[in-house]
Amino acid sequence: MKHPPRLSLPAIWNMSFGFLGIQFGWGLQMANMSAIYQFLGAEESELAILWLAAPVTGLVVQPIIGYYSDRTWTRLGRRRPYFLVGAILASLALVAMPNASALWMAAGLLWILDASVNISMEPFRAFVGDMLPPEQRKVGYAMQSVLIGLGAVASSSLPWLLTNVFGVGEASGAGSASAEVSRIPWSVHLSFYIGAVVFIAAVVYTIVTTKEHPPADMAAFEAERKRTAGVKHAVKEILGGFVGMPKLMQRLAVVQFFTWFGLFCMWIYFAPAIGRTIFGGEPGSAAYQDGIEWAGLCFSVYNGVAFGFAFLLVALVKKFSARGVHALCLTLGGLGLLSAGLWNSSTPLLASMLLVGVAWASILALPYAMLANVLPPSRMGFYMGVFNYFVVLPQILASAVMGKVVGWFFDGRAMPAVMTGGASLVLAAVLLMVLVPHADAEGEQGAG
């Protein structure tokens, strides 16, 4: 089988640049949605179920988009039409989100936003397999990790920077008389508006600078697309994807499950934990808002570390096994979240987030790098979508059960939920070393 030609680093940067915008939008969502819900009256025990929209949309959207993007060819190419549609929809949702005036409205907008982000994001994973030969795919995923880190640093810290560096006031700029809307600080409004512009601009940059390779045999491609047309065939193949997963994919799926359960515990509960536990505030108070903004800065730190560490990952996986490097990074991230519960002041949290950043860089790159070389090119998008089931299923579990756990076992406190996430990351590292053979992880065996 003929592989795509090697690309220069600037070309790999261009083809990955859209991920900066995707992560900018997603980072705003991760750092601010719990606070937005609480500004609109949600209790901490309700946050998990309110977050349910995000993983459910991923569960539905990602395999469908992957399946159809494998079978698409237009003047814009195979994956790029999905990049563009997702970016337009996500940018509109970002503008609308801080203007939500009720919990149901914010939750509904999160469904739209997360679905739109997934429409753009899922094809970007397959894009690396399409555009790069096997020996460059680790570099391609590491470059995505670099840009994800850069986008997340900027988005997570933006409300804090707008308030503390640029002096943006607390009054809502939405011009609404609604007391509910005015609870959401103007720094959050402005951050989401900026995010909408960055999202669509970055995606358009990739679309303009990167041309996709057409199918080698267009007649055969069109014949196969006609043969497999129809919703019935799509549903059958998507459901059958679980049965036909390569063995390495099955084993990595278990690791992904516990990895993303841990991450989702952090995303849901970290900001409320800091606002209440470290800053001693209650939702709506100035102290609590200070804590939320500090949590955003902490998210910026871990994403900044991920940005820098992603450059080092390329060198590390050339010298050491991807499996060993990923297991070590997961362990460090788990220890970072566990240590967050030990502090009684804000500054040491930055050290905890440094360890989380190391894990985050690896999570964004190495599972996909280990997986890409055992997937058939004609089904790259589909299998990447199926693989992401094991990103969203643990998030659904966390959304469904962690609210009960926080209410029943943690006395309504968010910090123990963050530490539960740390324990889950450590377990993921152990499972990686136990379940995934070294040879499989390094691509020395086939799909099985």
**So what's the pLDDT on residue 224?**
76
In a domain, 216, yes or no: yes
In a domain, 1, yes or no: no
**So what's the pLDDT on residue 432?**
95
What does the pLDDT average to over 154-168? Answer: 83
**So what's the pLDDT on residue 316?**
84
**So what's the pLDDT on residue 322?**
83
Q: Of 130, 143, 124, 140, which Cα lies nearest the Cα of 3?
A: 130
d(CA 332, CA 408): 29
Phi and psi, residue 246, nearest 5°: -55, 150
In a domain, 362, yes or no: yes
Q: How confident is the model at residue 280 (pLDDT cuts 50, 70, 90)?
A: confident
In a domain, 403, yes or no: yes
Number of folded domains that form the chain: 1
**So what's the pLDDT on residue 176?**
42
CATH number of the structural domain spanning residue 292: 1.20.1250.20
Are 294 and 346 contacting, i.e. CB atoms less than 8 angstroms apart?
A: yes
In a domain, 4, yes or no: no
**pLDDT, tens digit (0-9, with 9 covering 90-100), for 1-21:** 567 888 998 999 999 999 899
Q: Which residue has the tokens 């050491």?
A: 320
Domain range for residue 196? 9-441
- Does 156 have pLDDT greater than 90? no
Between residues 169 and 163, which one has the greater pLDDT? 163
**pLDDT, tens digit (0-9, with 9 covering 90-100), for 167-181:** 876 544 444 444 444
d(CA 274, CA 407): 18
Considering 201-210, 212-221, 384-393, the range whose residues carry the highest mean pLDDT is 201-210
**pLDDT, tens digit (0-9, with 9 covering 90-100), for 224-277:** 778 777 777 777 777 766 677 788 888 999 999 999 999 989 988 898 888 888
**So what's the pLDDT on residue 152?**
78
Output the CA torsion 391→396→399→401 (10° steps). Answer: -110
d(CA 263, CA 260): 5
**pLDDT, tens digit (0-9, with 9 covering 90-100), for 55-102:** 777 777 877 888 888 888 888 888 999 999 999 999 999 999 999 988
Are 189 and 176 contacting, i.e. CB atoms less than 8 angstroms apart?
A: no
**So what's the pLDDT on residue 355?**
96
Q: How confident is the model at residue 441 (pLDDT cuts 50, 70, 90)?
A: low
In a domain, 447, yes or no: no
- Does 447 have pLDDT greater than 60? no
- Does 345 have pLDDT greater than 50? yes
d(CA 128, CA 138): 9
Considering 133-147, 177-191, 431-445, the range whose residues carry the highest mean pLDDT is 133-147
Lowest mean pLDDT among 41-45, 335-339, 354-358: 41-45
Phi and psi, residue 185, nearest 5°: -60, 150
d(CA 368, CA 235): 24
In a domain, 414, yes or no: yes
- Does 115 have pLDDT greater than 50? yes
Provide the β-strand partners of residue 77.
Answer: 74
d(CA 221, CA 437): 35
pLDDT, averaged across the chain:
83
**pLDDT, tens digit (0-9, with 9 covering 90-100), for 25-52:** 988 887 788 888 888 888 877 877 787 7
Q: How many CB atoms lie within 10 A of CB 285?
A: 14
Q: What is the pTM of this model?
A: 0.74
Percent of the chain exceeding pLDDT 70 equals: 92
**So what's the pLDDT on residue 174?**
41
**So what's the pLDDT on residue 440?**
58
**So what's the pLDDT on residue 171?**
46
**pLDDT, tens digit (0-9, with 9 covering 90-100), for 399-429:** 788 888 887 888 778 889 999 999 999 999 9
Q: DSSP alpha helices (H): ranges in 71-102? A: 80-96
**So what's the pLDDT on residue 33?**
87
**So what's the pLDDT on residue 169?**
62
**pLDDT, tens digit (0-9, with 9 covering 90-100), for 360-369:** 989 988 898 8
Which residues are within 8 A (CB) of 75 and not within 5 positions of it... i.e. 6 or more apart?
Answer: none
**pLDDT, tens digit (0-9, with 9 covering 90-100), for 370-386:** 887 777 777 777 788 77
Q: Which residue has the tokens 């970290």?
A: 270
Report CA 388 to chain centroid distance, whole Å.
10
Which of the 8 DSSP states describes residue 243?
Answer: T
- Does 201 have pLDDT greater than 80? yes
Between residues 203 and 299, which one has the greater pLDDT? 203
d(CA 4, CA 99): 45
